[in-house]
A and B are shown apart, each in its own frame.
Chain A
């Protein structure tokens, strides 16, 4: 029973039949190995039955059992012990803490449970205790800071936003870099349609790079955290080789809770309820001195004989008059007057409202309720769970409702056949999720890039006139109520909202047939099928033309597989286990999106049939199939050595016929050197292992990359239009190939109170299948190539320290740290540089020798002494050419967790850190230009308000030497010190027109990511209650931020989870959450 491998767990359970003998009375004491203290509340059960008892306060138990029975002793945090009675009446047991990591069994690729000690590659698990079901809606965020080498980037401030998980750096230049998500063996779809539709949809592409749009999330966010037992992170290629190319970026193996009740009969019930509150964490530092407008005085208009101060309503900048309480005909006064709400034109004081942006945001509340029923006997078990999530966001009117039902069960038909099935149905609805980036409906674009500081949010919240038209702060002029550029943000949220519906079924059915005691055959079919419908709208009376769009997407992913599994003890010391099998993967994606043109005919009626002009439609389908044959053999010698060998061949439909088949192997060796005889006597060292692995993984591409086709476009009148696509296809594609090497060690010392896990890895991908940007002068913008080499090398370090461990109290310190070095080694012939994207003239690109993700843009000009050069007019001189401004990739990342356990109370705090990496902030560029931010006010170095005219002592003087480029392009220094003051508006708008380097910042940070406190009622108390578990938890996330150099935004602020990182623009603010969670089990 010690050697737990593969299917044998099930087999062993199946064959263990109790033979009844005469009952005898047994007593004993249970103590802890660590300190010899007695253990109360330990469950003592007669194996194969449900009868048993628990130890009392003195750790003593007493029960009647057959003389040949086996007693099973179990206790939370301890390794379950078994004792054969053998007629004994006194059985004392010493239990060992479960923290002995080397005995752990984890789920690896294809759901195969393996002992951690035998693995030849790094693996890390997040257990149930680390997953606080109700605290984060996107599962990926639960991994933040907890796993070495895993970087999670999430779209901020948007409860439905996507999260990107990057394991050991980016491997693909332009393709998918997220890991594979597998739930209970079901490979699920994790498409982020904004990324997937990117090449086809301009809107989606814009959203990705901060141009504006909605982030509807990545589809793995549908996973219900309440059902999760554990998440295993498979990092390297050797760990994921069996999944093939699909797990080229690693895999998250998610195991959900099962119906097993640890042998107890009857029905188990668990109830888990949580409430979480969400608040805005980081907002820009605003100025509160000057209001909206382009110039510092009011126009004065005479209305009905009275002169009024008229602010510049149509301006979306804050270069207006100083806010000193002057009476003005504010935009709201004008609407009131126009609509006859007030008899005459009233005025409002021109006053600052320092908290106006903060006041807009609400406290989001999420209620999660989960009920699960579970139970079973030796032949069957089942679990039925229902979860309801009801959530409101920080943006007014935004909400999410989600219902998940999951049912899982298995049954053994006699000794040979086992059937299991699982089905998970989810129904999802989201409303009014906020837009991102630089777009009409993006509220943050108004709050942090283009807006007026004189807003009064109370007035703003009255967004609609009695006649149904909009009240916009940005009315075009006194006489023209139509918005000039921007809608009222409340109007955006209440009238121009989007909706998203999704119905999803994830399920599997599996049959296993035991042919002999060493051979079994299994077959399964897994499916992930969903329909997603999205609508977006712009109502009549908005700044933009009224509009309605509807998109329906369906995904059908079916995996069918069959395996022949074997298990054989060759000798007493040598064991061989493994399988051969086949897998068929079929993936079909269909998308239909349509939108109205020319506005809506009937206001308030949102239907494609309400389009004024002919609608535009996109009709898209993509189909891919991969057939695979795969096999794996694990050979082990005693507890000392273990060798895994795998081989897989894929046939992909996406590659040319003669290149569609590719074979790749992997090998992994585990050597537990502490099992060597001379080392077994070591007292300070409990465990020591060396891991070594090598793997190769092939990869295919997206469908339809091989041949030229013509792109259909909207008709011109009745004339059809087609175009040659901007991307050059390539009919000579071959599979891309990654080779990975990994070496690591795991050492445990001093009764497992100090542990080290260290990994070095090196990965090289050649023949990249990628889309590269080419000079437009070729007639195209991109070219599909199959070349180039990228490497990732890195180290991962995990330390575990237990400074205090007593029977009542323990203190655990877990540290993880990772450094990945990425390098673009070579590119395709004729391609000198890889350009991922550009926004506002800032490029994310790489040349050979550079890491992939270098910011290139115009820089300051420096003289040979490194001083910044200023133009003779007082503004920054801009570098004539693009320069490298930094890599967007971090130098290293790390996490530190302290956990304190005192009796039933457990408290932990997680800090995570990022060092290095740069981002370009569009928010900084525009928010400074438009005079929203605090640096656009205050005094200059003469002590005068910098907004005063230059000839009156105002203006901005930049530090630097004065110089220019001569006719030959040579830098000439004219003066050692700049003494020229420039107009503040010229200075501020130069954040856009001048060097882009002004908006590039280093993204170091330290965050208090998670604090949680949990209390579980002790077993001794529970024994008197009809409850088996009572746990109350508090969790807070993103509670503090330190050490950031990025002004106005959270350094993690991002608009999406795609490959394009390092460009910030109009992302929603990051949030902090607080929540309470109650778990009851009966």
Chain B
């Protein structure tokens, strides 16, 4: 009897242990939702892209140095082309993972199962178009930095764990298609996108930005694509920026932790590692440019603007710039590195300069460009008129120099344009470069991240075999000699 009870008891206990009815509930993640409005993804991706683009490392120690807008006052290795090995890893991954949110917006608005839900954040087509434009913006920046990069195979998760590198020529061809299709896809009458920090859901502005970006893409191929001008013109005809009020810019929220990342490095972390560079201060002073006091501040210990010579070694740089860079001009604390100073994706001024260039250095568009830039930075109309009247006539050098001045803070764009055109005329680092930049004073690209050597070795090797050595002097496809 006793043993029968025991057996019964045992069976009951064993029955209970196999009971796993509530396991699915136990393993449902209470910390993260399974569905969110796509607008929440859009807000996030805009913020992360621009935060990454604008921060102390990617803009400060890379873009703004290679274009010589800024110069380091301490720890000057980057300005002498000695990039820190781990930084490329970080940003490569960041930009791709940022784009995963864009890819997700496209998927949620495309997949029939989810499109109906996603539509609360704006019409499906509008959301897809915005995501495609932003993707094109990031991809072009990345290919201009590195050359061939994973593009066709990229952002596919487990479907492609070792994404092949797409030749830059193919990336450029596809960027034009993407941007054309995206602007066609926009439905200005339908609900605009929600959660949009850049344009507040104004779809007409997105359309203009898409076309303006198409102008930038086409213009950059001027040395390798004979039909570049007609491609630029097609984008203009489709409707690009018409005023500085159309500018694609991201305005940071002035409160922690959403403020401008450069504000964070100067005023939160107290790092005055960069001053405005001598070439920029000199150019502005020579032209008597009204943007000088907007771009730069007077030195803490000084009464006139002093540019920091570009690329000095540490000893010399620290001695020249003084403690905390107090002998030289730092970036303007309000307009440039303020808590809510904007980050630019693309400005109307650039559209004007591109128009001037494809029309044989057109004087009117040249002036329009200068005016647009000055207006965007808040210069008085009267001062703008005086300034424009004093400018030398439009020519390759003057237009491209003004373009460089107008691209201030878009450090990478300044560098890309210098690589394409050679303007403005810049010299190598004061104390010499650490790494070989070939026949140029400034590098032609950046090293691929070492992560790729480890995690995507075969495709990495294929890319350098095709493109050339993984160093700073190998030129990308559009950058012919």
- Could you tell me which A residues sit within 8 Å of B by CB distance? 294-295, 312-315, 319, 476-480, 482-485, 515-516, 519, 521, 543-545, 562, 564, 580, 582-584, 597-599, 612-614, 616, 619-625, 627-629, 651-654, 657, 660-661, 703-704, 706-717, 719-726, 728, 773-781, 783, 830-833, 835, 838-841, 843, 845, 856, 858, 880-882, 965, 967, 969, 983, 985-986, 989, 992-993, 996
Contacts and interface: CB of A to CB of B under 8 A. Distances in A.
A711 B31 CA distance: 8
6 contacts: A544-B269, A706-B27, A716-B253, A843-B454, A858-B85, A882-B450
A708 B24 CA distance: 15
A295 B315 contact: yes
B43 A720 contact: yes
B314 interface: yes
Given A294-B315, A484-B270, A709 B32 contact: yes
Given A314-B323, A477-B323, A779-B100, 4 more contacts: A621-B31, A709-B32, A833-B454, A989-B314
Nearest to A630: B17
Interface stretch (B168-176, B211-219, B254-262, B399-407): B254-262
A622 B29 CA distance: 8
Given A779-B100, A779-B156, A841-B85, A714 B257 contact: yes
Nearest to A830: B161
Contacts of B434: 993
B20 A612 contact: no
Contact of A985 (B27, B48, B315): B315
Contact of A780 (B47, B84, B100, B255): B100
B33 interface: yes
Nearest to A654: B27
Interface string B443-464: 0000001111111111000000
Interface string B124-142: 0000000000000000000
A789 to B, nearest CB: 18
Contacts of A830: 158, 161-162
Contacts of B101: 723-724
B155 interface: yes
Contacts of A704: 27-29, 31-32
B345 interface: no
Interface string B61-99: 000000000000010010000101110010011101101
A247 to B, nearest CB: 19
A597 B257 contact: yes
B288 interface: no
Nearest to A596: B256
A480 B324 contact: yes
A312 B158 CA distance: 53
Contact of B318 (A315, A483, A516, A831): A315
B455 A835 contact: yes
A804 to B, nearest CB: 56
B195 interface: yes
A723 B324 contact: no
Interface of B: 2, 6, 10, 13-14, 16-20, 22-24, 26-36, 39-41, 43-45, 47-48, 74, 77, 82, 84-86, 89, 92-94, 96-97, 99-101, 103-104, 149-150, 153-158, 160-163, 195, 197, 253, 255-258, 268-271, 313-315, 318-319, 322-324, 326, 434, 449-458, 469-471
A778 B154 contact: yes
A882 B17 contact: no
A972 B266 CA distance: 45
A880 B34 CA distance: 44
Nearest to B34: A709
Contact of A880 (B2, B455, B470): B470
Contacts of A783: 157-158, 161
A332 to B, nearest CB: 17
Contacts of B104: 724
B16 A295 contact: no
A619 B31 contact: yes
Q: Which residue, of B44, B271, B456, has the highest number of chain A Cβ atoms within 10 A?
A: B44
A924 to B, nearest CB: 17
A724 B455 contact: no
A480 B270 CA distance: 11
B455 A774 contact: yes
Q: Which residue, of A651, A716, A777, A965, has the highest number of chain B Cβ atoms within 10 A?
A: A777
A295 B17 contact: no
B257 A477 contact: no
Given A625-B26, A776-B97, A476 B150 contact: no
B50 to A, nearest CB: 11
B464 to A, nearest CB: 8
Contact of B155 (A521, A710, A719, A779): A779
Contact of B255 (A584, A597, A835): A597
B34 A841 contact: no
A721 B32 contact: no
A665 to B, nearest CB: 17
Given A476-B324, A707-B34, A781-B93, A840 B23 contact: no
Nearest to B150: A777
Contact of A776 (B27, B45, B92): B92
Contacts of A583: 17
Given A654-B27, A657-B24, A835-B455, A722 B40 contact: yes
Q: Which residue, of A625, A778, A996, has the highest number of chain B Cβ atoms within 10 A?
A: A778
Nearest 8 pairs between A and B by C-beta?
A477-B323, A776-B93, A598-B256, A709-B32, A777-B150, A830-B161, A841-B85, A779-B155
Contact of B29 (A314, A485, A707, A969): A707
A582 B14 contact: yes
A477 B24 contact: no
Contact of B455 (A717, A773, A989): A773
A710 B36 contact: yes
Given A614-B255, A722-B41, A881 B453 contact: yes
A726 B32 CA distance: 14
Contact of B256 (A479, A485, A612, A623): A612
B342 to A, nearest CB: 14
B162 A775 contact: yes
Given A597-B255, A856-B454, A993 B29 contact: no
B457 A833 contact: yes
A723 B105 CA distance: 11
Contact of B26 (A624, A708, A774, A831): A624
A703 B258 contact: no
B97 A660 contact: no
Given A484-B270, A724-B100, A838-B89, A775 B16 contact: no
A911 to B, nearest CB: 39
Contacts of A627: 16-20
Given A483-B270, A710-B33, A775 B455 contact: yes
Contact of B96 (A614, A625, A722, A778): A778
B158 A728 contact: yes
Contacts of B93: 776, 781
Given A477-B326, A660-B20, A989-B77, A882 B455 contact: no
B453 A728 contact: no
A712 B227 CA distance: 46
A717 B254 CA distance: 9
A620 B32 CA distance: 9
A481 to B, nearest CB: 11
Contacts of A598: 255-257
Nearest to A315: B318
Contact of A651 (B17, B85, B197): B17
B324 A841 contact: no
A653 B20 contact: yes
A781 B452 CA distance: 12
A371 B378 CA distance: 77
B359 to A, nearest CB: 39
Contacts of B271: 485
Given A483-B270, A627-B17, A778-B157, A832 B97 contact: no
A546 to B, nearest CB: 10
Nearest to B267: A545
